[in-house]
């Protein structure tokens, strides 16, 4: 974190934006899981929807970064 009140406020706003985006993506994914269950689809079908693919990409980014840095 940087010094002073303005950079601290910017950091807090960035953190809130990331948390809001994570909450929206999580709710969207959960809706897809519920829809898949209602339609009696396989458990993995929610991961093949747009929010599921975004979740998988977000989970794979640290691993890809680690592999690229090696």
Question: Whole-angstrom Cα distance, residue 70 to residue 61?
Answer: 14
Q: What is the mean pLDDT of residues 6-29?
A: 94
- Domain count along the chain: 1
This prediction's pTM: 0.78
Tokens of 26: 């999580």
Asked if 45 and 36 touch (Cβ cutoff 8 Å), the reply is yes
**Residue 33, pLDDT score:** 96
**Residue 8, pLDDT score:** 85
Q: What is the pLDDT of residues 20-55, one digit of tens each?
A: 999 999 999 999 999 999 999 999 999 999 999 999
The residue range of the domain holding 54 is: 5-69
């Amino acid at each position: 974190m940087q010094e002073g009140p303005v950079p601290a406020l910017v950091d807090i706003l960035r953190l809130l934006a990331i948390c809001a985006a994570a909450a929206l993506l999580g709710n969207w994914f959960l809706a897809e899981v519920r829809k898949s269950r209602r339609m009696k689809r396989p458990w993995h079908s929610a991961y093949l929807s747009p929010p599921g693919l975004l979740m998988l990409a977000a989970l794979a980014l640290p691993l890809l970064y680690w592999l690229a840095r090696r």
